[in-house]
Amino acid sequence: MKRAALVVGLLLVPIGWALSPLPLGMTGHMAGHMIAVAVAAPLLAYAARGTIADPARRWPRIVTPMVMMLLELLTVWGWHLPALRAAADSHALIAVIEQASFLAAGFLLWSAAIHPPARASGIGALLLTSMHMTLLGVLIGLAPRPLYHGMHHGHGLDPLGDQQLGGVVMLVIGGASYLIGGLGLLATLLREDRSTAT
């Protein structure tokens, strides 16, 4: 199971990275970001769990769920500030740094959340992340004017429509991934508590 998660996670990373430079506008960028932070990252964290590549195992006092949740919040919200978004669109190196930081922040958060000694706080961290991802997706999707100027809109949408669709992508993929992860961890914790009680 871990090997399959590793293979799928590693395959998704270049797919997400390839979406960002394509002329797909905000929707393509958002899909690339969500693939990195909310799909590939949890698969890679699961594959690394308990190994030497597991940061929560190596540095349990630093890689904690709530600290990593805040790191991811700053990463995701920071890169969606219009000035940083424009910089990433204008310079390939900044775009690479942006996408790598999404993957790293997601990997660290998921690693911390699924680390067995920290799973209770991991549930809270994932659910809080689901809420802030949902909030940002709603803010981007419901903004009355385009926030991100200079993006290509090659799929037939005007800039505002493209931005709204990008917000929906964040809302659905980002919000759902962390909500499902948090509820899955909660179910695991409850099962373990029930089995130790009997």
- What's the pLDDT tens digit per position in 29-65? 888 888 988 999 999 999 999 999 999 999 999 999 9
Cβ–Cβ < 8 Å for 105, 72: yes
How many domains does the structure of the chain reveal? Answer: 1
Nearest-angstrom CA–CA distance, 112 and 57: 8
Residues spanned by the domain of 9: 2-197
Q: What are the angstrom distances between the C-alpha of 73 and each of 67, 128, 136?
A: 10, 9, 10
Nearest-angstrom CA–CA distance, 1 and 181: 17
What is the reported pTM?
0.89
- Identify the pLDDT of residue 114: 93
Residue reference for tokens 């969606």: 80
